[in-house]
Structure 1
Amino acid sequence: MSTETPSSAAATGTVLDGIIAGVREDLAVRRAAVPLADLVARAADAPAARDGLAALQGGRSDAHGVRIIAEVKRSSPSKGALADIPDPAELARAYQVGGAAVVSVLTEQRRFAGSLADLDAVRAAVDLPILRKDFMVEEYQFHEARAHGADLVLLIVAALDDARLRDFLALTHELGMEALVEAHTEEEIARAVDVGARIVGVNVRNLKTLDVDVAHYGTMARHLPEGVVRIAESGVDGPGVVADYAAQGADAVLVGEALVRDGDPAAALGRFRAASRS
């Protein structure tokens, strides 16, 4: 499949467009250093992916509370540096002890200070499914994710046209991974569902403006069909937000900043899950 043409979201001057432009530049450097054929071979030899779909299903009916996707996140475009995270493996182990269902690892370099080295470190440290959190715009990145041990990848509907969204979702499944397909609007949810997404996230942070509205999840949740795993993303500053997302039907909640800034992330995870049971 061809993956070189910019998406329909390109050239609109949004924050998302700027991030993707940087992602493409950094990707060109990695592609020059490691040919696609090498990654394809490494991905084929990698251990089978863990079942990210099963890990996230059923959070609404779990007596222990919603599932938590706990994120290894050093920085963000909206708030700058969040945490040093000198040892991402140690943080991931704390997440596992605290009951996280999935560990998300930022690998975007420029705005989030992430790396594939972080992904490698976390993969070696925990048995949980791992989500590679990045802006996936070329086929190369999917083989790269699998070669480095990712079990799930992020697909951002706003960054992809329908053909590419469908092709990338198919490629993700061909490689044995699952995709968290991220939407922000009713239209984007419909597009995600139309291409067969099994895990659909509603990001309450608008990636085009960086505005956050935690009430947005409830507004959009009514458009999520029963057949998909529902993920609430962003905006968590304490247990109350997790409880609200759970009450509005989320199976899982993605949490980054509130965990990396907490001195005891394992205990924080416990508080988040406990709040979602009440």
Structure 2
Amino acid sequence: MEGLVSLKTTPPGISFHASPPSTTTTTSTSARRFSLVRRSLLASSMGTRRRNGVSETKDESATVSPANGDVETALKAKEWEVGMFHNEVAATQGIRIRRRPPTGPPQHYVGPFEFRIQSEGNTPRNILEEIIWHKDVEVAQLKERRPLFRLKNALDSAPPTKDFVGALRAAYQQTGLPGLIAEVKKASPSRGILREDFDPVEIAQAYEKGGAACLSVLTDEKYFKGSFENLEAIRNAGVKCPLLCKEFIVDAWQIYYARTKGADAILLIAAVLPDLDIKYMIKICKMLGLATLVEVHNEREMDRVLGIEGVELIGINNRSLETFEVDISNTKKLLEGERGQKIREKDIIVVGESGLFTPDDIAYVQEAGVKAVLVGESIVKQSDPGKGIAGLFGKDISS
């Protein structure tokens, strides 16, 4: 194993651990530590006053900070600690996707130590983990350029949110078919570029004309060639369909930012986020008037999400985010027995995702219990995406 360690001056009053906490810590203890550190981080990010080496948050609680006042460095240390606790808590819930490389702080980190070991631990185990590691760095940089408190004016002037859940229910009742969430998607890691002549507004308008109940807009730039500018452009173009921000959410900041760009709903991925994060982010979304689509891939994730209060939409992704193989029978498997009964009792709308190309595919997942579908590839590649919708359902659903 080869490594490189760069030592920097440690600010007074701050201690830093270069290695992650012991994985032998119990689930409850880890969750409490995770929650406490995150609350401290949130309080600091929302603004602090310093007086004689003590930081006073806006709610007048106080925490000890560096005597000579390097609040920014303290925040970075807390962020790193939150990331390490996240991996620890996530592992206890069967989550294999790590938030960041486990053997040292990420390269963008500037703090008491800059520590990177070149080893197997710093190699993503699959494409989803690679995306999440990149997203963690990307969001940290965005937060530095535009802290949460600076989003306030944009939040105040954002357009009212549209009823995402209501639009799906109405579409199902009107057509007797699953409500369509049509995806504005230029590319994917598994398929490459899906459409060269990609005009997000034109595609969104064609979807709406073709009978889509809602739209999903990819905002990840590196892996899906999307952007928040696409989301904003569609909203500003007068499209009436509610909009789902299709992003890899790892930080609450992204939810606020998506709201400023015109999002009506947010995607949360259970393969990435522990229960505590999902609960916390659902509360933030409700506060901002946003719906949440919580995505699952297997039985354990479904069981976790069904145990969380406030979930109205569950997406079942038939694509393995580790291997990218697709099997639409996954939807049926996750909706059988007690799970299906719980979903009906809670009046949750289930959204079928991935591998849906034909009317037979739609009929299959509908029979399994799906009341909405999220489809991108099979319709965005059509010369007329609106006609692609009619082909997907076997009939015109625009009326």
TM-score in terms of structure 2 length: 0.66
Residues 247, 61 of structure 1: CA spacing in aligned structure 2 closer, same or farther, 3 A cutoff? farther
1:38-117 correspondence to structure 2 within 5 Å = 38-57=150-169, 61-117=173-229
SS at match of 1:23: helix
Q: What are the ranges of 5 or more consecutive residues in structure 2 without an aligned counterpart?
A: 1-38, 43-78, 91-96, 102-123
The one-letter amino acid of 1:266's match is G
Is 1:266 the counterpart of 2:386? The answer is: yes
1:162-241 correspondence to structure 2 within 5 Å = 162-196=275-309, 197-222=311-336, 223-224=339-340, 225-226=343-344, 227-241=347-361
The one-letter amino acid of 1:100's match is A
CA distance in 2, matches of 1:62, 1:206: 32
Other-structure match for 1:153: 266
TM-score in terms of structure 1 length: 0.93
8 A contact 2:186–2:193 mirrored in 1: yes
CA distance in 2, matches of 1:202, 1:85: 30
* Residues 27-78 of structure 1: CA deviation (Å, up to 9, x unaligned): 2332233222122331232121101111122665543522110001111111
SS at match of 1:46: coil
CA distance in 2, matches of 1:186, 1:48: 36
CA distance in 1, matches of 2:174, 2:321: 30
CA distance in 1, matches of 2:396, 2:200: 26
CA distance in 1, matches of 2:211, 2:176: 10
CA distance in 2, matches of 1:160, 1:61: 32
The one-letter amino acid of 2:255's match is F
CA distance in 2, matches of 1:219, 1:275: 27
> Once the 2 structures are TM-superposed, how far is the Cα of residue 274 of structure 1 from its aligned partner?
4.2
The one-letter amino acid of 2:175's match is A
CA distance in 2, matches of 1:275, 1:90: 22
CA distance in 1, matches of 2:128, 2:371: 26
8 A contact 1:69–1:103 mirrored in 2: yes
The one-letter amino acid of 1:198's match is E
* Residues 103-132 of structure 1: CA deviation (Å, up to 9, x unaligned): 100001111111111111111220110000
Other-structure match for 1:25: 137
SS at match of 1:158: coil
Residues 187, 275 of structure 1: CA spacing in aligned structure 2 closer, same or farther, 3 A cutoff? farther
Residues 203, 275 of structure 1: CA spacing in aligned structure 2 closer, same or farther, 3 A cutoff? farther
* Residues 116-157 of structure 1: CA deviation (Å, up to 9, x unaligned): 111111112201100000111101100001000000000001
CA distance in 1, matches of 2:166, 2:159: 18
Is 1:34 the counterpart of 2:146? The answer is: yes
RMSD over equivalenced CA pairs, Å: 2.0
Is 1:131 the counterpart of 2:244? The answer is: yes
8 A contact 1:60–1:249 mirrored in 2: no
Percent sequence identity is 34
Q: What are the ranges of 5 or more consecutive residues in structure 1 without an aligned counterpart?
A: none
CA distance in 2, matches of 1:50, 1:221: 28
8 A contact 2:379–2:392 mirrored in 1: no
CA distance in 2, matches of 1:60, 1:194: 26
CA distance in 2, matches of 1:153, 1:174: 13
CA distance in 2, matches of 1:85, 1:252: 28
> Once the 2 structures are TM-superposed, how far is the Cα of residue 15 of structure 1 from its aligned partner?
2.2
CA distance in 2, matches of 1:75, 1:25: 22
Bigger Cα Rg: 2
> Once the 2 structures are TM-superposed, how far is the Cα of residue 198 of structure 1 from its aligned partner?
0.6
Larger deviation: 65-74 or 231-240?
231-240
Residues 86, 14 of structure 1: CA spacing in aligned structure 2 closer, same or farther, 3 A cutoff? closer
CA distance in 2, matches of 1:44, 1:183: 33
CA distance in 1, matches of 2:279, 2:266: 14
SS at match of 1:57: helix
CA distance in 2, matches of 1:276, 1:89: 22
CA distance in 1, matches of 2:395, 2:387: 12
CA distance in 2, matches of 1:99, 1:230: 19
RCO (CA 8 Å, sep 6+): is it higher in 1 or 2? 1
8 A contact 2:210–2:396 mirrored in 1: no
> Once the 2 structures are TM-superposed, how far is the Cα of residue 173 of structure 1 from its aligned partner?
0.9
CA distance in 2, matches of 1:44, 1:123: 16
CA distance in 1, matches of 2:174, 2:396: 10
The one-letter amino acid of 1:244's match is Y
CA distance in 2, matches of 1:103, 1:71: 6
CA distance in 2, matches of 1:186, 1:242: 22
